[in-house]
Structure 1
Amino acid sequence: MLVTPIRPVASNRDWPRPPSCLPSNQLDSPSEGARVAVAGLVILRQRPGTAKGVIFLTLEDETGIVNVVVWRKIYEQFRRAVISGRLLKVTGRMQRAHSVTHVIAEDIEDISGMLDVLVRGEG
């Protein structure tokens, strides 16, 4: 489990969001199965032993949190970003189950280089 004590995204409403990424507070709009892109600070990584290789990520942007499901095949493809990325851009499909919204990851990009901009307050 990773908990980040400094949350520059949450406190910076003007952070340079990657183009095409939706803020977490707009994830109610896309329909089930729609392809979306989100970006945020990794505040939690979970790999439960009972999840058959599935990894759950929690990302935080300036409007809230995003739950991301990473299937084993996607994890193997983007392992480095999933393990070491502090700020990620995730593209995937919307899934809703019981009032909980998830993004099922299809592509994961480590955009941790943007953290320097966030911490300095540039952008």
Structure 2
Amino acid sequence: MTAKGVIFLNLEDETGLLNVVVLPGVWDANREVARRSVGVVIEGVVEYRDGVTNLVARRFHPWPDDVRDVRTRNWAYWGR
């Protein structure tokens, strides 16, 4: 967090890293979902500047219950 109250999050998977920028008002409105949910879906605007991709968050949604049953893929073994 910076002195101006901006929160910075990093999302990472096998394909890379995404920076998430959360402005103070957005964090205040979504703090409980972000902190208490099993997972979150972050809605926002993607910005690309100077070779860096950022997601400027607008809203956090709780991870949907029906997604828990979706099969996942282990990308480390993709293409073998």
The interval holding the TM-score normalised by the smaller chain is: 0.5 to 0.7
Q: Does 1:71 align with 2:71?
A: no
Q: Which ranges of 4 or more aligned residues in structure 1 deviate by more than 3 Å?
A: 112-117
For 1:80, the aligned partner's letter is E
- Distance across 1 between alignment mates of 2:59 and 2:32: 13
Q: Which residue of 2 aligns with 1:82?
A: 34
What CA deviation, in whole Å up to 9, does each residue of 1:2-27 have, x standing for no partner? xxxxxxxxxxxxxxxxxxxxxxxxxx
Pick from 50, 55, 58: which aligns with 1:103? 55
Structure showing the higher strand proportion among its residues: 2
Structure 1 length normalisation: TM-score? Answer: 0.47
Gaps of 5+ in 1: 1-46
Identity of paired residues, percent?
30
- Distance across 1 between alignment mates of 2:35 and 2:63: 13
Task: Indicate if the aligned counterparts of 1:69 and 1:103 stay in contact, CA closer than 8 A.
Answer: yes
Distance of aligned partners of 1:86 and 1:64 in 2 relative to their CA distance in 1, 3 Å threshold: farther
- Distance across 2 between alignment mates of 1:97 and 1:88: 25
For 2:46, the aligned partner's letter is M
Q: Which residue of 1 aligns with 2:10?
A: 58
For 1:65, the aligned partner's letter is L
CA RMSD of aligned residues (A): 2.5
Structure 2 length normalisation: TM-score? Answer: 0.67
Deviation for aligned residue 1:112: 7.4
Q: Which residue of 1 aligns with 2:74?
A: none
Deviation for aligned residue 1:114: 7.1
Bigger radius of gyration among the two? 2
